[in-house]
Structure 1
Amino acid sequence: MKFFKKITIAITIAATFSNMYFAQSQTYEWKEATSAGYTYQYVTNDPTSARYYTLKNGLTVILSPTKKEPRIQAYIATKAGSKTDPADHTGLAHYLEHMLFKGTDKFGTKDWSKEKPLLDKIDGLYEEYNKTTDVEKRKAIYKQIDQVSGEAAKFAIANEYDKMMGAMGGQGTNAFTSFEQTVYTEDIPANAMDKFLALQSERFRAPALRIFHTELEAVYEEKNRGLDDDGRKVFETMFAGLFPENNYGKQTTLGTIEHLKNPSLKAIREYYNTYYVPNNMGVIMSGDFNPDELIAKIDKAFSYMQAKKIPEYNPGKENPISAPVVKEVWGPNPANIMIGFRFPGASTKDARLLSLVGEMLTNGQAGLIDLDLVKKQKLLGASASAYPLKDYSVMLLQGNPVEGQTLDQVRELLLQEINKLKKGDFPDDLIPSVVNNVKKNTIQGDERYTSRAGNLMNEFTSGVDHKSTLDYIGEISALTKQDIVNFANKYFNDNNYVAVYKRKGADKNVVKVEKPPITPVEVNRDAQSPFLVKVNNMPELPIKPVWLDYNKDIQKSKLGELNILSVKNTDNDLFRLHYYFGVGKWNNKLLPLAASYLEFLGTKNKSSEDISKDFYKLAASFKVSAGNEETYITLDGLNSNFAQSISLFEDLLKNCQPDEEALQAFKARLKKARQNAKQNKGSIMAGLRSYAQYGAQNPFNNVLTDAELDALKAEDLVAILHDLFNYKHDVLYYGPKAGAELVAALKPLHKTPSAFKNFAQSKTFTQTTSDKNKVLFADYDMVQSEVAWSRNSDFYNAKEVPTISLFNNYFGGGMGSIVFQTIRESKALAYSTSSYYSTPGKKGDRDVIMAYVGTQADKFNEATAAMNDLLTTLPQSEKLFVTAKDGLKKTLASERISQDGIIFNYIKAQKLGNNFDIRKNIFEQTQTMSFNDIKNFHSKELSGKNYTYCIVASENKVKEEDMKKLGEFKKLTLAEIFGY
């Protein structure tokens, strides 16, 4: 009988996908076409409709139009990264990426004729500094660099690039550097393309390396953050072991400390002139545009670029690994292990097959590791993932031990799963199940313009043929079990891997980048270059904003006492259904534990593993999330399998059986996870912030004590699950079914009582009001120090939201904000810094003022003083204020809330007591505001107020006496923070 069901499911899925645009029988071919005078390549039947242009100068342009939202995701990518860094200047590609935000001779400068001689002088000083080894002489040269840099900065306009992007409504302004790519990313309104191209073509024409020494200090900060990041250290150690002959392993993206201390502006320019050439670059865009019009604009904007021969890169031939390479990394985080195997590069068939193997090992539901190690709770956590790169690819296995387990034992458990692949010890239906889920994931990936552009960009930089990506589903659909067995035996053996043991303990090899003496530089907030004025004045057609109408955009239905809110999916066959409960952990501390326990339970007829397999075969999944005051059960999948997916989950929830063995393993893993949380600086900081807002008894430490956890019974958790649907809840749905059809489909599937039960009354946590400055400190072994400011403000008031939105945009909301300009750009005190006035999730709660600085321990005093100055006195810049206002208006006008996001927006509004889309108020009211409005808001809410400083740092690096200067000092124990 079970066998028959499996066959039925497989046939159903095959029938479903045969009607989709990427049906397995679909053929893909490269074709050539000409339109509007431009010839391009395309792949037939491509759901992304991507066009591939090569301009006369060699620049690659990839355009994927989609009209769903009036925005465009843009990437400008260079096929150069850390692997092409000069061996004597590692980290160069990365800090060049930072400098591409500083402007040219046309923008970012008040007077280029006066600035340029000073920049030339700085060039010479850095070359001298680079070649000098005498410590005292180096200090003298650096003092000159600092002095001349201060003079040059008088003519510089900091963040003018960010101001232009902000004014046009840009979002996500950023860039990143990896092994073989440096990519600049922007998300812009569709009507801003002319402005965007004018800025980008100028940006890459002749970058000026201005404000260099403060930006290099930001890179130092990033390096020090990396030294505090055990995960980064493990990753870098893994690649060093896998690639002793390739720059993947010989060089790191952030570079060595020695090279960071000895930069060369001459080397930076040589690198730029070598690799930032059109035949090595690509412009990739997806969004709302006409490709015929856009290609002409891109061609005109970048036609000045001239092609050059790119130096041939020798990837280095790696010798086979004949014996396990074992390395160790030490740090404060919990112990874990990573195992890596080496494979051919991303463009090869074997690299594509590796991605399938990765899904067979880990897919979150029915992979071998998922079922054997996670479901059976043999490890605290485990995963496998394919990491394709141009020269070579890698398979990474990761495992976290349970209490009392050695890393050797974790390694053996992970390798046993590899051996199952080699022996063919996996279900016959695993491959087709993976294929079906890849199909579903492909649909999801093509829904958003952002993910389309990201996928196309990664193909470009890693040298992957787009046709091979489209062929992938058909390619893996044809594979047999024997093909996987042959592949596994070819590439995996008992000796050809690298294992990195992450041990808990002090890392004695860490040498942090020391703070150089830097005099704060001017940022000239109110200065504007003629280029900025020209770009801002370029005409653009306004985008008409679209606000939600909760009465029209959401179908509201009833099934008995059940409220059903739905939005119709007219794009594809996917659905998402949420059971929403307005209760959570504050009502019952056992609720989140019961939700997690469900993952390991079966019914009388099916094991937990069988249920996971059945969901995966249906290309469906479920997740139960219990928060403090809300609980969601989310199911997603194919409309054609809607009934089967719902039935499968409801049977599990209503008929799951207590499993004492699973509970004991669950408890042991939970205890280990709780121990690990105490070793994680992010978790510690979250605990401090909760303590600051609510006091000693707070939502963060509202958990079971160790004794309560020990006394936990399987029957109690299962009883909560069985009874859950008897409590008040709503159904939220996005999918192909309309309201009446959805009600009819749900009626036989989701049985509810005639009258819902009420949960226990929620525990109340009251936000505190502080009458003095306080310091909450947690000791942690780290190079950096992290400081978070917190203050509870007034109760939520919808009338204040427009002012708050504009204030955040001006004060601390991005790279062009006051906070970023002052603390990072001017004073070089932090890599990461921000400030935000946060509104709550429900009416009756208070707003919260937050600020953050992650800085070197030896900059602690300066960094905290700098933020305190900004919280006390709001710097005024009318031009920056106008930019903030324009950017907010254009962002809101081009923003589209869609799919089930409409329903969640509605629920959020309800909880705040609003019956309207508050974005409309923000859009209309902020346009008449003046700087005095936000200045008055700052004076009322931030200036002269008491704050609680949450500090995570090493007590050996940050002095207690310095922290006490900030406020009443309290060093918290981990037990006080975590509640166990």
Structure 2
Amino acid sequence: MKIWMVALLGLLVSASAFGETRLSDKMLFGTLDNGVRYFIVNRPTAPVFTGMVFVDAGSAEERTNETGIAHLLEHMAFKGTPWMGTRDWAKERPLQEEIEKTGSQLTAERQKSTPDKELIDQLEKRLAELSKEVAEIILPNEYDNLVTREGGQEINASTSTDWTNYYMTLPSTRLEFWALLETQRLLYPSWREFYLERDVVTEERRMSVEDSPSGRMYEEFKAAAFKAHPYRNPIIGWMSDIRSLTVARVADFYNKWYVPSNMVVLLVGDVDEARAMPILKKYFGSIPSRPSPARANTVEPPQVGEKRISVSIAAEPEVWIGWHKPTFPNDDMAVFEVLQFLLSDVGRSSRLYSSLVKGARICQSAESFTAPGDKYPGLFVVRLEPRAPHTNAEAEAAALVEIERLKSEPVSEKELEKIRNQIDSHLLQSIETNRDFARRLGAYYLASGDPQILDTMREKMRNVTPQDIQRVAQKYFTVDNRTVAELVSTRPKAKDSSTSPTGAAQ
């Protein structure tokens, strides 16, 4: 993925300084006594900062039948603590315990091969009664309201295959407030409104995957490309797994992965070491140490033949082509980044656009990217949308011509130097926010283990040669290493789109 590159912009003050600036020289990286790692990046351009906490656990760390647990846990982190989000924890706590007991019974009964419908009705009625009773005690959205009252913005979180992160942007005077709030919710989850939130996530999955052609295609494509590694699973989880999650199971995941040695804290903005370090030590340094989690480390076996699937959806046709690729610390990572720019990330002058969209007009769009993550070996993907009346087969064939060209014809030094300049130009054209800088740095540090990863990757990219590109294309872009998924449209074809208003709209 190219997202690491835009992060470079945050510390640069001018185009002339870019070529000489090493971002690592402007960062402070270290480890607290309990194992929490931290970055401090001082950017005093405005009196604000972004605080971001990464937990080195995403969907790839989930076990079979527990997919979606990392994402649901992210949702629960906004539900408060025993001291935040309630009018009376002493009254709320026994209700929450009964809700968990009832919810677990209901979940277990629904999963039986012959569920007791009468018991299910009784449990559903009791759960609704308890939820109504506890709703009189809780203070919804108090976490967000507290942050907003202190001038906070961008209060959010996200879950990927590789990690989960939590972040907000605040006035620089509220640094200690941020540290207190974040450590409280990391240490003392309340599991408030768990079953209501689980229902929210099932609806989220329905909208983002089952009712979304692109979401469905991506899910099917990953599941076909990976047969062993957890990258095959959706971040949001399979529907049956989400519906089976209980507080106890999510709490087990939390207790295993949310430990100090598995956390990275980033402060980016108007913060400096003298002010930030005492606060980091006071709050994050006081989190009790616990053993680092053991990872399953399932390795995806080498693919031994092309895989092909078709997905029938009422949507426009498209083709996804993916090849397995390595990740950090393999130097070929940088070559794939350059390949992404060469094929699609420099706009109208990129090879796929010039050949398939502008030239032959076979496709209406053509893009390349890497997925699903960077902590483990992933995929280099080409995604195509054919332009009617051209077919998926024609689009795929045209794209593979460009792929074969990479193998047989070395990229000229002139074209490669143009790509290098376009990469730098891309970096200089947009100044990213503190939040985006923190997110890119944290994500790529966790994937690589290199605190200087932003400098390292940029230098490696600039050193990529035509021979490197040809070698990588020949090594990885093979038939046996390839997975192809095509969306076969189930929509009725328009009889005459040139004269039919309906056809024209389609």
Please, what TM-score do these two structures have when normalized by structure 2? 0.89
Q: How does 1:490-889 map to 2 (within 5 A)?
A: 490-505=475-490
2:64 pairs with one of 87, 90, 93: 87
Paired residue total: 481
Summarize the alignment of residues 165-314 of structure 1 with structure 2, pairs less than 5 Å apart.
Answer: 165-225=147-207, 226-249=209-232, 251-314=233-296
Conserved in 1, the CA contact under 8 Å of 2:351 and 2:402?
yes
Residue 191 of structure 1, CA deviation: 2.3
1:189-230 per-position Cα deviation (integer Å, ceiling 9, x unaligned): 222222222211211111101122222221121011021111
Alignment of 1:432 onto 2:417: yes
Q: Does the alignment pair 1:318 with 2:306?
A: no
Q: Distance in 2 between matches of 1:309 and 1:239?
A: 32
Question: Structure 1 residues 232 and 429, CA, compared in 2 at 3 Å: closer, same or farther?
Answer: same
8 Å CA contact retained: 1:438, 1:473: no
CA distance in 2, matches of 1:229, 1:330: 13
% same residue: 24
Matched with 2:353 is: 370
Alignment partners' CA distance in 2, 1:466 and 1:344: 20
| Structure 2 residue matching 1:261: 3-state secondary structure | helix
- Give yes or no for contact 2:334–2:464 (8 Å, CA) kept in 1: no
Query: Is contact 1:346-1:393 (8 Å) kept?
Result: no
1:391 paired residue number: 376
Aligned to 2:366: 382
Q: Does 1:345 align with 2:330?
A: no
Q: Do the aligned partners of 1:353 and 1:476 also contact (CA within 8 Å) in 2?
A: yes
CA contact (8 A) 1:369 1:383 kept: yes
| Preserved CA contact (<8 Å) 1:446 1:452 | no
More helix by share: 2
Query: Does the aligned pair in 1 maintain the 2:335–2:468 contact within 8 Å?
Result: no
Q: Could you report, residue by residue, the CA deviation over 1:392-425 in whole angstroms, capped at 9, with x for unpaired residues?
A: 1321101111112221111111111111111125
Alpha-carbon spacing, 1:65–1:19, altered in 2? closer, same or farther (3 Å): closer
Cα distance in 1 for partners of 2:33, 2:24 equals 27
- Alpha-carbon distance in 1 for matches of 2:285, 2:501: 60
Shift of 1:317: 2.1
Report SS of the residue matched to 2:170.
strand
- TM-superposed CA distance for 1:135, in Å, is 4.5
SS at match of 1:502: strand
Deviation string 1:332-374 (CA, Å, 9 cap, x unpaired) is 2211011111111244311122111111111213222122112
User: Post-superposition shift, 1:473?
Assistant: 3.5
Corresponding residue for residue 578 of structure 1: none
Q: CA deviation at 1:313?
A: 1.6
- Residues 252/478 of structure 1: CA separation in 2 closer, same or farther (3 Å cut): closer
Q: 1:354 aligns with which of 320, 331, 336?
A: 336
1:336 to 304, 318, 335: 318
**Cα distance, 1:19 vs structure 2:** 8.5
Tell me if structure 2 keeps the 8 A contact 1:201–1:302: yes
Whether the aligned pair in 1 keeps the contact of 2:198 and 2:243 (CA below 8 Å) is no
SS of the residue corresponding to residue 22 of structure 2 reads coil
2:81 to 85, 104, 110: 104
- Counterpart of 2:100 (choices 123, 135, 140) is 123
Q: Distance in 2 between matches of 1:275 and 1:309?
A: 9
Q: Which amino acid in 1 is paired with 2:145? A: K
User: Separation in 1 of the partners of 2:15 and 2:293?
Assistant: 47
Alpha carbons 1:439, 1:473 under 8 Å: kept: no
Indicate conservation of the 8 Å contact 1:384/1:397, yes or no.
yes
Give the C-alpha shift of residue 314 in structure 1. 2.6
Provide closer, same or farther for how the CA distance between residues 135 and 437 of structure 1 changes in structure 2, counting only shifts above 3 A.
farther
Paired letter, 1:95: L
CA distance in 1, matches of 2:483, 2:67: 24
- Counterpart residue number, 1:75: 52
- Determine if contact 1:78/1:461 at 8 Å carries over to the other structure: no
Per the alignment, in what secondary structure is the counterpart of residue 250 of structure 2? helix
Deviates more, 1:148-157 or 1:468-477: 468-477
Question: For the Cα contact (< 8 Å) 1:48–1:64, is it kept in 2?
Answer: no
Q: How far apart are residue 47 of structure 1 and its match? A: 6.6
- For the residue of structure 2 that corresponds to 1:493, the secondary structure is coil
Query: Which structure 1 segments of 5+ residues have no match?
Result: 1-17, 27-43, 507-671, 676-704, 708-972
Q: Distance in 1 between matches of 2:145 and 2:185?
A: 14
- Supply the distance in 2 between the matched residues of 1:147 and 1:974 (Cα, whole angstroms): 53
The whole-number CA distance in structure 1 between the counterparts of 2:461 and 2:164 is 31
* Offset from partner CA, 1:719-756 (integer Å, 9 cap, x none): xxxxxxxxxxxxxxxxxxxxxxxxxxxxxxxxxxxxxx
CA distance in 2: counterparts of 1:347 and 1:365, whole angstroms: 32
Q: Distance in 1 between matches of 2:231 and 2:294?
A: 16
**CA–CA distance in structure 2, aligned partners of residues 48 and 450 of structure 1:** 20
**Deviation for aligned residue 1:468:** 4.0
Which residue type is aligned with residue 61 of structure 1?
A: Y
Summarize deviations over 1:677-727 as a string: whole Å, max 9, x none. Answer: xxxxxxxxxxxxxxxxxxxxxxxxxxxx957xxxxxxxxxxxxxxxxxxxx
**Aligned residue type for 2:298:** G
- List alignment gaps of at least 5 residues for structure 2: 1-13
Taking the TM superposition and a 5 Å limit, the aligned residue runs for 1:816-965 are none
**RMSD over equivalenced CA pairs, Å:** 2.5
Counterpart AA for 1:423: S
The aligned residue for residue 6 of structure 2 is none
Offset of residue 120 of structure 1 = 1.0
Distance 2:387 2:429 in 1: 35
- The one-letter amino acid paired with 2:93 is K
CA distance in 2, matches of 1:242, 1:310: 30
Cα 1:459–1:303 change in 2 (3 A) is: same
Amino acid at match of 1:324: E
Offset of residue 979 of structure 1 = 6.7
Deviations 1:454-495 (CA, angstroms, capped at 9, x unpaired): 221221332352434313333233332122111111111123
Task: After superposing the two structures, state which structure 1 stretch, 442-451 or 453-462, moved more.
Answer: 442-451
CA distance 1:146–1:45, shift in 2 (3 Å)? same
TM-score (norm 1): 0.47
Q: d(CA) in 2 for partners of 1:444 and 1:283? A: 28
The superposition leaves residues 915-939 of structure 1 with CA deviations (integer Å, 9 ceiling, x where unpaired) of: xxxxxxxxxxxxxxxxxxxxxxxxx
CA positional deviation for 1:48: 7.2
In 1, Cα distance between equivalents of 2:176 and 2:153:
16
Please give the alpha-carbon distance, in whole angstroms, between the structure 1 residues aligned to 2:130 and 2:164: 30
Tell whether the 8 Å contact from 1:126 to 1:263 is kept in structure 2 after alignment: no
Q: Which has the higher contact order (CA 8 A, sep 6+)?
A: 2
Maintained 8 Å contact 2:303/2:480:
yes
Whether the 8 Å CA contact 2:29–2:451 is kept in 1: the answer is no
In 2, the alpha carbon distance for the partners of 1:464 and 1:505 equals 46
**In structure 2, distance between residues paired with 1:282 and 1:345:** 21
Seen in structure 2, the aligned counterparts of structure 1 residues 309 and 974 have a Cα distance that, compared at 3 Å, is: farther
CA distance in 2, matches of 1:111, 1:476: 56
1:315 deviation in Å?
Answer: 2.9
> 2:318 touches 2:384 (CA, 8 Å); kept in 1?
yes
The residue type paired with residue 401 of structure 1 is P
SS of the residue aligned with 1:380?
A: strand
Q: Distance in 1 between matches of 2:30 and 2:123?
A: 49
* Separation in structure 1 between the aligned mates of residue 409 and residue 431 of structure 2, nearest angstrom: 33
| Alpha-carbon distance in 2 for matches of 1:447, 1:181 | 21
Contact 2:224 2:307 in 1 (8 A): yes
Alignment of 1:148 onto 2:130: yes
